Structure 1
């Protein structure tokens, strides 16, 4: 592939560059689950690297749980867990008596979904959230911090913000989980979701994100800022969702 800038130089350590190229081949499917990676000798020749550098690169991929292997044996691609997420699957209120849609979708994938409520508090949101909520300069909101897990392993860090005038005195402000999820509760309160807008970016994880998601390296995370509007284009929920970038991709469908 031609460089956009002929003077551009990848200044990352060589082992990180090797890991990046192999990671891309794994995630794109060129190296399929169960397939053996090229031998150390071939990798040394391909990347003009020492044995120690190649082994360091392979260790990065092992730490990321993309490959498995031990000294003296072939390194193979794991049945890795990169999943395609359709955001449209999660926004609608759950049917009567049904659990939160995120839990239902986890079950469809053969996983045991669980949600840990970390904290509920009143706070001044981050600037981009406050802007999306159309808060005045000193305005505050109710925030619900949660960690979502599959089979006991954290996969998503979530912070959902609600306008004070909507949330105060309701279950949104209580230190407990909400049956059916917040979309169901908001609809019951007279604020049905009418429009959802996502803004997705890739970022280096913060310390909180790194620890909460138990990330193996400082690979980028997918950060989604989701704004849910009800009648009269009123923002009723703004959520920051953070996922490990090497484990998930988002699928949006348009007509």
Structure 2
């Protein structure tokens, strides 16, 4: 193969991708069989198989057991704007999206005590193994799961207080800022990092996606001064959202 020349399987995948994007192979259309790809492009079974694997990894097609490989209908990507934390109701990506779109979503949650892992301990600036309250969420819009979240709060801060359980008690569901204020702690800054990675099988299954496809992870930590009081990971399918930041310049 000459320098700069694409491998055969990538050339086949590129041509099929153009047909999908251009509408020649519309959503739900069956992808040409392995035998047909071999015949049309003059390639081996191995090349035909690898080309299909590329399209599956890109989320353009999906296999159906006993039926074949079909073009996936691509979701319309939604813009999730992050504009700071002036309003407690807009502190999480999910709640900001609900406010922006003037819709009312729902969520399910469960909380349990646990020991902080090394990663969580670093983020909360506590010792590994210290006790934390871990809360898992599934957020839904129009009944469909849109985001997952796991949060950790050090029980050295919230233990034996009315806000120890984030979704129970007098301030259930009010968010970190209001809950911490109720125990005399003023949240005054927050750090957010956005990253992408292959989704874990249980994450993509819960979100209605395809195992292995990329997810966006918003890692967020609330601080009282320099002391972290909550850290969380919010996970959503990358093909469904793009995150845009619009922040004031001081």
TM range, normalised to the smaller chain?
0.5 to 0.7
The Cα of 1:248 is off from its aligned counterpart by: 0.9
Look up the SS of the partner of 2:245 in the other structure.
coil
Residue 243 (str. 1) matches residue 236 (str. 2) = yes
Tell me which of 226, 229, 241 is aligned to 2:220: 226
The Cα of 1:126 is off from its aligned counterpart by: 3.6
Residue 146 (str. 1) matches residue 141 (str. 2) = no
Q: Which has the higher strand share?
A: 2
Question: Deviation digits for residues 50-92 of structure 1, max 9, x if unmatched?
Answer: 8x8799949953659xxxxxx9xxx8976x3311212345674
Tell me which of 157, 168, 173 is aligned to 1:176: 168
The Cα of 1:16 is off from its aligned counterpart by: 10
TM-score of the two chains, using structure 1 as the length reference: 0.66
Distance (Å, rounded) in 2 between the aligned partners of 1:140 and 1:202: 28
Q: How many residues align?
A: 221
Distance (Å, rounded) in 2 between the aligned partners of 1:17 and 1:173: 50
Q: Which residue of 1 aligns with 2:67?
A: none
Question: 1:122 and 1:144, CA in 2 relative to 1: closer, same or farther beyond 3 A?
Answer: same
Distance (Å, rounded) in 2 between the aligned partners of 1:186 and 1:10: 57
Structure 1 vs Structure 2 CA RMSD: 4.4
Question: 1:228 and 1:100, CA in 2 relative to 1: closer, same or farther beyond 3 A?
Answer: closer
Tell me which of 171, 196, 204 is aligned to 1:202: 196
Q: Is the 8 A contact 1:94 1:183 kept in 2?
A: no
Question: 1:49 and 1:106, CA in 2 relative to 1: closer, same or farther beyond 3 A?
Answer: farther
